[in-house]
Structure 1
Amino acid sequence: MFSPDDGSGFRLPLFPLQTVLFPDGLLSLKVFEVRYLDMVSRCHEEGTPFGVVSLTQGREVRDARSTAESFHTVGTLASIQSLERTHPGLLTARCRGTHRFVLRGQEQLKHGLWMGDATLQEDDQTVAVPADLLHVQQALRQVASSLAPRAHDGSGRESPIGEPFRWDDCGWVANRWCELLPVAAELKQRCMMLDNPLLRLELVADMLEKLRIVAGQADGDERDDGGPA
């Protein structure tokens, strides 16, 4: 079902969603459509990923009123970490994003499953968080700390920010913020597609400031110096 990328490309099953999966991001899925039950089971048994792509038209679950599905051509591979059959005809999958890919072509099979021909996109280079963006990193640390108790409160919920933590990596910090921010999927998709992790983090910092989630660095410095709040 999946062939490793040797530079010439590979073929893989696709799971179009109304969300954007980032590398190292966590994704929980409840799978009940026939077209995905077999695909997810096979991927888990074979230890192979599937591709998550963000929908531009159509719905995640097909019905008689659904419009034709279309989706972005840049997505992220999802590796299944655990799979449970909670009820007949229902699978619960916990997945992690790995590498970004670019679709060169896609086709929909008779039973509705999409298959894609893809090549891998280069992973982000490791770029240290610069001093003027440390406030963005520190704010994410605070969010992660506040969410950590969810994994131990008996509810079964897990923190959306998973280990290993890479606090000094621009791309990793930007990706985790993109997953958390209440912005449109289209904007998240554009951030995910950027090949410059520092630029992605700068854009995230702008969004955080506009949403009044994190104050700008200049504002923070002014308050620290005893200036007006």
Structure 2
Amino acid sequence: MMPDAATPLFPLTTVLYPQGILNLQIFEVRYLDLMKKCLRDGTPFGVVSLLDGTEVRRPEEKVQLAKIGTLVKIDQHDFVTPTLMEISTIGTLRFKLQSATQEKNGLWVGEIQTLPADPVIEIPDHLQGAANALAELIESIDDKGISEQQRPFRKPYRLMDCGWVANRWCELLPLDKPTKLQLLALDNPLLRLELIDDTLQAQGLIGPQ
């Protein structure tokens, strides 16, 4: 697969997965300009995790970006003020970061290689506990009357799909960043869910199947 054209990057301390929801407050000029361009052209940008450095630009700061990230599309946006924008984004495809450069305004741009979407794999019986626990969590959110915009994930809830269930637990569990990145890099969603299932059992969140 050939690398994609240069893609604007948004370095963050978090790790985002496909179909994940990421809400951001945009106030830096470089990112306000980027969001306006993405909205105008209907183009995505890449969310990539910071291994070194901070989210707000600092002069002479050392920045190191992870080699795996997720493209996102803007789902909702609101200009709170002319210099403050609130957006809600949804993760789409994973990508490998081949190289990255920083422009004069501080915006990072990367040469990326997009990765195929996870194949849909039905959850096997021995991993059903992870899906059941996630369904119970969703039910508890429903009972609390939490609005769609405030929920950690959006419909449709694909509770029979290994990749979707694994990705939601990857976002919810208090895993360290290297572990989250390793799970994001896995091309096999069944293996990703198996590792998550082990973690859920180790933390006593589900019982052995």
**TM-score grouping bracket, smaller chain normalisation:** over 0.9
Report if the CA contact (8 A) 1:101-1:119 is conserved. yes
The answer to whether the aligner puts 1:151 opposite 2:178 as a matched pair is no
Partners in 1 of 2:98 and 2:153 — Cα distance?
31
Partner of 1:16: 11
- With 18-27 and 143-152 compared, the bigger mean Cα shift is at 143-152
Partner of 1:160: 152
Q: Which runs of 4+ in 1 moved over 3 A?
A: none
Deviations 1:190-212 (A, max 9, x none): 11110011110011011112222
Question: Offset of 1:29 from its aligned partner?
Answer: 0.4
Superposition RMSD in Å:
1.5
Partner of 1:121: 115
Question: Offset of 1:216 from its aligned partner?
Answer: 2.1
The answer to whether the aligner puts 1:176 opposite 2:168 as a matched pair is yes
Report if the CA contact (8 A) 1:144-1:161 is conserved. no
In the TM superposition, 1:63-212 aligns within 5 A as 63=58, 67-148=61-142, 149-151=145-147, 157-212=149-204
Report if the CA contact (8 A) 2:57-2:106 is conserved. no
Report if the CA contact (8 A) 1:107-1:116 is conserved. yes
Question: Offset of 1:8 from its aligned partner?
Answer: 4.7
Structure possessing the higher radius of gyration over alpha carbons: 1
Partners in 2 of 1:165 and 1:192 — Cα distance?
19
**TM-score, normalising length from structure 1?**
0.86
Question: Offset of 1:161 from its aligned partner?
Answer: 2.0
Q: Which runs of 5+ in 1 are unaligned?
A: 1-5, 218-229
Report if the CA contact (8 A) 1:144-1:159 is conserved. no
Q: Percent identity?
A: 42
Report if the CA contact (8 A) 2:21-2:90 is conserved. yes
Q: Which runs of 5+ in 2 are unaligned?
A: none
Partners in 2 of 1:167 and 1:173 — Cα distance?
6
Higher relative contact order (CA 8 A, sep 6+): 2
Partners in 2 of 1:24 and 1:105 — Cα distance?
25
* 1:60 counterpart SS class: coil
Question: Offset of 1:7 from its aligned partner?
Answer: 4.0
Question: Offset of 1:170 from its aligned partner?
Answer: 0.5
Partners in 1 of 2:33 and 2:78 — Cα distance?
13
**TM-score, normalising length from structure 2?**
0.94
Aligned residues: 207
* 1:35 counterpart SS class: helix
Question: Offset of 1:9 from its aligned partner?
Answer: 2.0
Partners in 1 of 2:39 and 2:177 — Cα distance?
27
In the TM superposition, 1:24-39 aligns within 5 A as 24-39=19-34
